[in-house]
Amino acid sequence: MTISQDLFSRAQESIPGGVNSPVRAFNGVGGTPLFINKAEGPHTFDADGKRYIDYVGSWGPMILGHNHPQIKQAVLDAVENGLSYGAPTESEILMAEKVKALVPSIDKVRMVSSGTEATMSAIRLARGYTGRDKILKFEGCYHGHADSLLVKAGSGALTMGVPNSPGIPADFAKHTLTVSFNNLDEVKAIFAQYPDQIACIIVEPVAGNMNCIPPVEGFLEGLREICDTHQSVLIFDEVMTGFRVALGGAQAYYNIEPDLTCLGKVIGGGMPVGAFGGKRAIMDHIAPVGPVYQAGTLSGNPIAMAAGLKALELLSEPGLHDALESKSKQLCDGFQRAADAAGIALTTNYAGGMFGFFFTDAERVDTYQQATECDLERFKRFFHLMLEEGVYLAPSAFEAGFVSTMHSDADIAETIKAAERAFAKLVA
């Protein structure tokens, strides 16, 4: 028995499913989850001491690699002054100023402690601002686990086969309208069906919770136009894409300005952080300026601010995001070449520092339907073969992969070699 196996059976006695977030349990791929002891640069190390090239990156935030020495030092320095005050600090202003400077659509920003809180609060704000109840989301997009948003959700909800979670009253869920990602006709039709009733559209501008699906040309522009026509709030959920797809997020990469933006993980540099921000006229509806209530004991926590500020400072280095994207491209091209050579049907997607690969005959994958129709059994086998090879991919076909600045050419070449061997075994 490995140490991970032993820990997993022990964990299941006292933690539901042995994990504190479902996808970690490896339900999507079977087998025993690895218990991680340590992470450094592009690597994680499991409890049995095995080293992996990691493409999960704590599900997104580790753009600069694990345990970056300067972020670690910023945390250690901050700890000297206490862990939490529940009172305003200058570091929160610095963080807000930095976020505004990097994401120009944001006039004001409120810090929270998770992506779920960011999207939940942004939805409440959009509803309070417009006085409308209905919201529109896309099938397969995941925006955290708030009640209104666990409707046809992606990520773990999709992996576990519960895109519509029990426990959410039908009276809540009925206000969440869902249409297909990358399909503007469906968006127009639903706005025609519910005129003046839709408070907002919330979208992952690059979908990263049903594998990785970038927007087709004109999709985000179309959403902007529809929101303008119907006075609905356009919310970009950039919890994953923020500072990863480009320094200014997907909104900079595709040059579309949302009204509100949700941010997460990245701005904590690995600490538990989220944020939502946007146009002044909307943000001023939030308490204590306006009536829409939102609060948090640990919001703007000084340790998290210190880590996040250092991360954003390091991410601001010119050229960093171009280099990150070329790593994604290198990896995707390598997987494609290796799959073609082995006679395996595969296609890949990437945007900035996030990527996805699909076992399918389709030339490209643009929709939820296509993503769910891929060969999931083949993915599972590939995942485990790669794990044996020392490459840690997301343990579900419905998650994006992430590269970091610490993934060297040699790491990527080693990953592609591992994929070549894995593909050969898949067709053997």
Q: Within 406-425, which residues bind ligand PMP (CB under 6 A)?
A: none
d(Cα 51, Cα 123) in Å, to the nearest integer? 41
Q: Which of 129, 142, 253, 350 is catalytic?
A: 142
The answer to whether residue 38 is catalytic is no
263 binds ligand PMP (CB under 6 A): no
How far apart, in Å, are the Cα atoms of 326 and each of 71, 323, 330, 405?
Answer: 24, 5, 6, 10
The answer to whether residue 142 is catalytic is yes
Which residue in 39, 157, 240, 385 binds ligand PMP (CB under 6 A)? 240
152 binds ligand PMP (CB under 6 A): no
209 binds ligand PMP (CB under 6 A): yes
275 close to 112: Cβ distance less than 8 angstroms: yes
249 binds ligand PMP (CB under 6 A): no
Q: Which residues of 110-149 are buried (b: 16+ CB within 10 A; e: fewer)?
A: bbbbbbbbbbbbbbbbbbbbbebebbbbbbbbbbbbbbbb
d(Cα 295, Cα 277) in Å, to the nearest integer? 14
Tell me which stretch binds ligand PMP (CB under 6 A): 72-80, 233-241, 299-307, 405-413: 233-241
- The region, left, alpha or beta by phi > 0 then psi within -120 to 50, assigned to residue 152 is left
Closest approach of Cβ 1 to ligand PMP, in Å?
A: 31
Query: Helix 219-230 and helix 184-193: axis angle, to 10°?
Result: 10
Which residue in 201, 213, 235, 239 binds ligand PMP (CB under 6 A)? 239
Which is closer to ligand PMP, CB of 7 or CB of 153?
153
Edge-to-edge order in the sheet of strand 176-179: 108-112, 274-278, 260-263, 233-237, 198-203, 134-138, 176-179
Which residue in 46, 139, 204, 389 binds ligand PMP (CB under 6 A)? 204
Closest approach of Cβ 424 to ligand PMP, in Å?
A: 33
Binding mask of the shown chain, residues 109 to 128, with x at each position contacting ligand PMP by CB under 6 A: -----xxx--x---------
The answer to whether residue 237 is catalytic is yes
Closest approach of Cβ 14 to ligand PMP, in Å?
A: 22
Tokens of 134: 């209905």
- Number of chain residues interacting with ligand PMP (CB under 6 A): 18
110 close to 349: Cβ distance less than 8 angstroms: no
Q: Which of 134, 137, 265, 310 is catalytic?
A: 265
Contacts of 208 (CB under 8 A, 6+ apart): 60, 240, 241, 354, 356, 399, 400
Binding mask of the shown chain, residues 58 to 87, with x at each position contacting ligand PMP by CB under 6 A: -x----------------------------
d(Cα 149, Cα 152) in Å, to the nearest integer? 8
299 binds ligand PMP (CB under 6 A): no
How far apart, in Å, are the Cα atoms of 425 and each of 4, 25, 57?
Answer: 25, 25, 27
Q: Which of 237, 259, 375, 411 is catalytic?
A: 237
Which residue in 35, 129, 142, 402 binds ligand PMP (CB under 6 A)? 142
Task: Cite the active site residues.
Answer: 142, 237, 265
What is the binding site for ligand PMP (CB under 6 A)?
A: 59, 114-116, 119, 142-144, 155, 204, 208-209, 237, 239-240, 264-265, 274
